[in-house]
Amino acid sequence: MRRPIAGALVAVLAAMLALTVAGCGEKKESVAGSSGSTQHLTLMLDWFPNADHVGIYQALAEGDFTKADLDVHVEIPSDPSDPLKLLAAGKVDAAISYEPEVLLARNQGLPLVSVAAIVQEPLTSIVSVGSKHIKTAAQLRGKRVGDAGIPYQHAYLQTILAHAGVPASSVKEINVGANLVPAMLSGRVDATLGSFWNYEAIQLAQLHKHPNVIHMQDVGVPTYDELVVVVRKNTIVNHPDVVRRFVQALARGYESTRRDPQAAVANLVHASPGLDPKLQLASVRATLPAFFPSNPSHPWGWQDPNQWNAYGQWMLSNHLISVPNAVLDASTNELLAGQGL
């Protein structure tokens, strides 16, 4: 889910506070390049550095990219809608984005492919403060639900309400832009669709607001990979070894995070000193299972092609995309450990 810039949220919270790669498979392969063949690679994040990116910064801190003969430079977007546009234009070599955004970009004819899943389930959720007593989708009847005005968020809400048997007319949907948590704290909305269970919900918990969380995949929305690594199709064709070394070095960063979350968060915060260490550590610990495939025989980064197809068909049926080929070959596992030729 494309994330809004969090400036307003930071201000509100400040005021209130006055594998070894997992499942490597049978294939034995080198994860280092040839001596003297260091490849420069620019990676653009989807949002400001946060717990979701912890494995990237761990791989940087532990030299995993360097060992793979890669000189990786991380960029932060000035606008969260920029990464895939800049990637398609050749301004960056890889980008972190979201499964829905990849399909939307491909629907516009951009030749982009997801090569690894960083977060293997939806983080996007319906979140409310405990005093609103919204624990099920049925309890949204008569409520005000805020979102960031993204079309597929609207489609999520419609799907969820239909699944719960709640008339859409009984729910008032309000575009609150970037102000998801402030809108809840101020009482402008009763719940938000678009907050992440591993971030905004944890912030609310640390503020003793006792948040309730409703997960998308539990209430009728097909599951999807929230955060993915995306490259241009011609990069896979022309430089498969570079992409392979990159995603497998990234896998080692997330494996290291699983072994020692506290050390990994320390490296994340060192690279981005404005972050709250307590929040980042709580978020990383909550997200650790979602960083890895549920099937231990699959390598880090695994993307279920059946899941991608089901989610793509949902987007087609909700008129979010119109080109069936946008779904075809939108993701690949060929560059993960133990996969491919």
Q: What is the pLDDT of residues 263-310, one digit of tens each?
A: 999 999 999 999 999 999 999 999 999 999 999 999 999 999 999 999
DSSP secondary structure letter of residue 334: T
With CA atoms as reference, report the closest residue to 229 among 46, 24, 51, 57.
Answer: 46
Mean pLDDT for the chain?
91
User: Kindly report the CA angle at 172 between 167 and 178, in degrees rounded to 5?
Assistant: 135
Question: What is the mean predicted confidence (pLDDT) over 200-205?
Answer: 96
Of all residues in the chain, what percent carry a pLDDT higher than 90?
87
Closest-CA residue to 212 (of 140, 294, 159): 140
Whether the pLDDT of residue 207 is over 50: the answer is yes
Q: Which of 307, 304, 312 is nearest to 328 (CA)?
A: 312
φ/ψ of 17, rounded to 5, equals: -95, -5
Query: What are the tens digits of pLDDT across the range 59-116?
Result: 999 999 999 999 999 999 998 889 999 999 999 999 999 999 999 999 999 999 999 9
Span 229-272, pLDDT tens digits: 999 999 999 999 999 999 999 999 999 999 999 999 999 999 99
Q: CA of 122: how far to CAs of 88, 197, 200, 214, 321, in Å?
A: 25, 9, 14, 11, 19
pTM of the complete model: 0.89
- Parallel, antiparallel or unpaired: strands 191-196 and 144-147: parallel
- DSSP H or E run through 311: helix 305-317
Please report, as a single letter, which amino acid is at residue 199.
Y
